[in-house]
Structure 1
Amino acid sequence: MSLSGKEGGCDCGAVRFRIEAEPVVVNCCHCRQCQRQTGTAFAVNILVKPDAITVLQGDPAPHEHPTPSGAGQTNFRCSDCGTSVWSIYHAAGDGLRFVRAGALDDPHAVTPQVHIHTTDKVDWVAIPDDMPSYEGFYPGREIPAIMGEDNAKRFARAVGRG
C-alpha cells in the first residue's frame, strides 16, 4: 500500500496535511478511547515518523487525554471543526504519529495490517480470519511478522528501542 504523497485534512478544510513517507504499520484499534474519540467502532491509524507529515494548511491543536497505560495521549484536532487528524501515544514515545486514516482524502487507499485491543471490539465488527488480531497491543515478539523486518527496525528506532 503506497501512502507517500497522500493528502488529507479535517472536515471543514481548515487543516490540510500530506504524508511524505510509507507507514511503519497500519493498525485498526478497537479500544474504548478510539471508539469515543472517533464516535464510531474503531480507529484506523497510520503510523509514521513525525517528519513524514507535512502540514499544508492550518495548525492542528493538541488535546491531552488519559490512557489506561497512564502515559496519556495527545490528540491533534482542527481548532474549528474538531476533527482528529493524528495522535501521539506517549507510551510509544514521541517518535511516531498515529494519523487517522479517515482524515485522508482517499481512505480507501488504506488497509489495516493488524487489529488491536479487540477485547473492546463491538460485536458486529467482523475481523477476517487471516488478519492478525490481539486482545491488547501486539507483543514485541510479533512485530516483525506484522510489520516485516525493515519496518520492525523502523518501529524500534521510532519508539527508542533500537
Structure 2
Amino acid sequence: MLSIIGYLVSIITFPGVIVHEAAHQLFCRINKVAVLKVCYFQFQNPFGYLIHEKPDKAYKNVLIGIGPFFVNTIIGAIIALPGAIPVIEFETGNLLEYFLIWLGVSIAMHSFPSIGDAKNIWKSVWNKETGILLKIIATPIVGLIYLGAVGSILWLDLIYGIAVAMFVPNLLVMIFA
C-alpha cells in the first residue's frame, strides 16, 4: 500500500514517471518487442505502467527493465544542467532555473526500476534456456533494484535525483572552469 507521502511525491514528480514509462517503451522499440498497453501517468498506484509482449530473448527483458535507469539519469542531468550551473556558482537563480532543477530532479529520481521490473527480469532470466552469463549479470541487477526499492523508504531516490541534477553540473563546472 502506498503511503500518502509516497502518493504526493509521485504526483509532484510526475514528469519522472512519464519519462520512466517512455524509457521502457523506447527499449521495447529498440529490441523490437511489441508494446501492448502503456499508461504514462495516472492518479493511482501504479502511477504508470507498460505491458509488452514476451521478448524472444531474456537479455531483451533485462534491457527493457533497466532502460529507465539510463534514460531518466541522462535526461534528468541534461535538463537540470542549464538551471543548476548558475545556482552552483551562487548566482541568484530565476524561476526558470529552479523549474529546470525541479524537472531534472523529478526525472532522475524515477530512474530506479520498479519491483515489478525486477520480478519480470528475474522470471525471464531464471529458466532453462537462459545462459549462465546472463544469469550472473542479471542476478546482481535484480538485487540492486530491490535495494533501491528499500532505499526509497530512506529517500534514496530523491537523494539520487538531487545528485544527478546538481552533482553532475557541479562536476562539469569544476572540469571545464
Same fold (TM over 0.5): no
Greater Rg by CA: 2
Higher helix share: 2
The TM-score normalised by the length of structure 1 is 0.29
TM-score normalised per structure 2: 0.27
Flag the structure with higher strand content. Answer: 1
